[in-house]
Amino acid sequence: MPHTWDPERYLTYADERGRPFLELVSRIATDRPTEVVDLGCGPGNLTALLRARWPNAHVRGLDSSPEMIDTARASVPGIDVEVADLRTWAAGDETADVVVSNATLQWVPGHLELLPALAGRVRPGGWLAFQVPGNFDEPSHTIRTELAAEAPYDAHTRDVDVPSSSDPVVYLEALTALGVEVDAWETTYLHVLTGPDPVFTWVSGTGARPTLQALPHDLRPAFEAEFKRRLRTAYPERGGRVVLPFRRIFVVGRVA
């Protein structure tokens, strides 16, 4: 089911969402790439950091969301961005010295099978680096799944896009089998959030977005109200703050 992105909502927690990107890119050990591609560049705020690190490189950003690309074009000058499906790019013949994908592959069904094509787009001696969430067993996701399966919502939400990922060792073994030298790890961040229903604000900009958009206008308010109530129980506020644990999986590989 098609869905759209809201760049403004997504950027609500830009600092928290950006930290894994910084840690991912810091492990790419190259100084002078000539071509850098960001697959799933979103609103471009993080792609700009690639340009800052490698100012002499040609940096490109691809994203399937026209809304995200419009924001990137307006706010990040000097970087080529375009609406494109990363699967189409992976199936092409363009190559790059560095290919980065931050919090995007979890939205691509069967992305493990896409890894050979992605590695094949990296020039010899170049780098493939990606990060995906690994928190899909956490209440922030399971509550949405459980509520969406209840009547009357289930008739509208059963076919929505749901993100998923694998454990670090799965990615390590898949890329190692391709001859890639792999560094894989995971980190659980403890995000301290404030404001009304902050966990709902977080997930409504990413993982819960397709579900919310699939609901008709007459059902969405009740769904949101119950979703918020259950999230408040799972993530209680203490001293005006809510702690959101968030596991992320990182993979950096040097292609032979």
Q: Provide the pLDDT for residue 1.
A: 46
**147-169 tens-digit pLDDT:** 999 999 999 999 998 999 999 99
Amino acid, res. 207: G
Amino acid identity at 256:
A
Q: What is the C-alpha separation between 243 and 139, in angstroms, rounded?
A: 12
The SS3 call for residue 70 is helix
pLDDT less than 50: residues of the chain: 1
**CA distance readout (Å), 119 to 95, 141, 233:** 10, 30, 43
pLDDT at residue 215, as a whole number: 97
Per-residue model confidence as pLDDT tens digits over 179-214: 999 999 999 999 999 999 999 999 998 889 999 999
pLDDT of residue 14: 76
Q: Kindly report the CA angle at 10 between 230 and 208, in degrees rounded to 5?
A: 35
Domain chopping of the chain, boundaries: 7-254
SS3 call for 68: helix
Superfamily, domain 7-254: Vaccinia Virus protein VP39 (3.40.50.150)
Q: Which residues contact 178 (CB under 8 A, 6 or more apart)?
A: 115, 116, 119
Angle in degrees, 0-180, between the axes of helices 220-234 and 139-148, rounded to the nearest 10: 140
Residue-level pLDDT at 5: 60
Category of 190 on φ-ψ map: left (φ > 0), alpha (ψ -120 to 50) or beta: beta
Task: Return the DSSP state at 125.
Answer: E
Distance CA 29, CA 23 (A): 12
